[in-house]
Structure 1
Amino acid sequence: MTPRIAFAAACLLAPLFATVAIAADPPGAAIPAAAPTEATAPAILARQPLPRVYSAGQPAANEWAGIAGHGVTTVIDLRPDSERPGRDEAAEVRAAGMAYHPIPVAGAHDLTPEAARTLWQAIDAAPGKVLVHCASGNRAGALLAIAAAREGGMTPEQALELGREGGMTSTEPRVREVLGLPAASGNP
């Protein structure tokens, strides 16, 4: 048998031998787990509306290390300090090795082209993955939508969809207003 044929035969028969080996194990024997190929992202990073941008609600103080461990280098916090009494998020984020940028957006009235420009510039300047968060993701998705349309070259409709993917819900009427889109049917 030539080396090439032997290699092909080994490749074809390897799964068969693995199946036989597993079947031959006594009942209840532990089957070794496959080695993970990439670390699983923390649940807080479930929304990723842009390739290197996550949007979320407020992370817990004990989640920053896991967020940093998944490659996030920059946290952009849209919550004003008054929404987090007793917490120093800037210190928490920096202790986990990430940069911290506050862009206070207290409500829909703060969803402005200027705030969107500031957000886009902070994302653009970040050296790696970015987490943009507010309390629930609603303001994060909304400001990302405005930024994507005003600064990122997306059409208003594309940006609106991106905002929804990012967590935008009740702020959509304000985003439509800023982007020059008509009110959604059913909205006053």
Structure 2
Amino acid sequence: MWRARLCSVMLLAANLAFAGSAASPSIRNLSHPAPHRMASGALDAADMPTLRQAGVKEIISLRTPEETPGFDEAKVVRSAGMTYRNLPIHGAKGLTRANVERFDALLRQAGDKITLVHCASSNRVGAMIALRAAWLQHKSPAEALAEGQRWGLKSLASAVRARLNAPTTTEN
């Protein structure tokens, strides 16, 4: 059952990513990097019915309130029948071990529910995934960076590398 649902989500993701028609909402940088997980850039209200129809049950936003003035994403997500969680990550300075642990807890809490994780471009999503892979899943820096890139890591790669190469502290 979950494989069939995942296949339909993957087809939807491909259609949304490559569709140019005005009838399909365009979700920026949409990907499906892991079972039961999707990643993307910014969402808007028009995306919610499509995501819900694709089986998305939970949305985790890494955006800060300052990024979405006038858009109550939590309200829109909940009114579409999905669970909303927010962990604001303020760029590179938000890439702390404490935030990675909070992020890991949110992903574990989502379990096998199809969950979309997003920020403005998917860059912070990839950064958090890379740090989680290294710090909590004990992957090598190269493996962690590759995993982060699959999820959208781009411009924060140097900040992630710096944290992976820094001596371990409670803030890393």
Partner of 2:61: 77
Partner of 2:116: 131
Partner of 1:117: 101
Q: CA deviation at 1:46?
A: 3.3
1:110-137 per-residue CA deviation (whole Å, 9 max, x = no partner) reads 0111111111111111140111111111
Partner of 1:168: 153
Partner of 1:90: 74
Separation (CA, whole Å) in 2 of partners of 1:160 and 1:68: 30
- Listed as ranges, the gaps of 5+ residues in structure 2 are 1-6, 17-26, 167-172
- Listed as ranges, the gaps of 5+ residues in structure 1 are 1-36, 182-188
Separation (CA, whole Å) in 2 of partners of 1:150 and 1:132: 19
Q: CA deviation at 1:85?
A: 0.6
Separation (CA, whole Å) in 2 of partners of 1:173 and 1:153: 19
Structure 1 length-normalised TM: 0.71
Count of residues in correspondence between the two structures: 145
1:114-168 per-residue CA deviation (whole Å, 9 max, x = no partner) reads 1111111111111401111111111111111111222234322111001111111
Task: State the identity %.
Answer: 34
**SS of residue matched to 1:97:** coil
Separation (CA, whole Å) in 1 of partners of 2:137 and 2:31: 19
Structure 2 length-normalised TM: 0.77
Q: Would you identify which runs of 4 or more consecutive aligned residues in structure 1 move more than 6 Å?
A: none
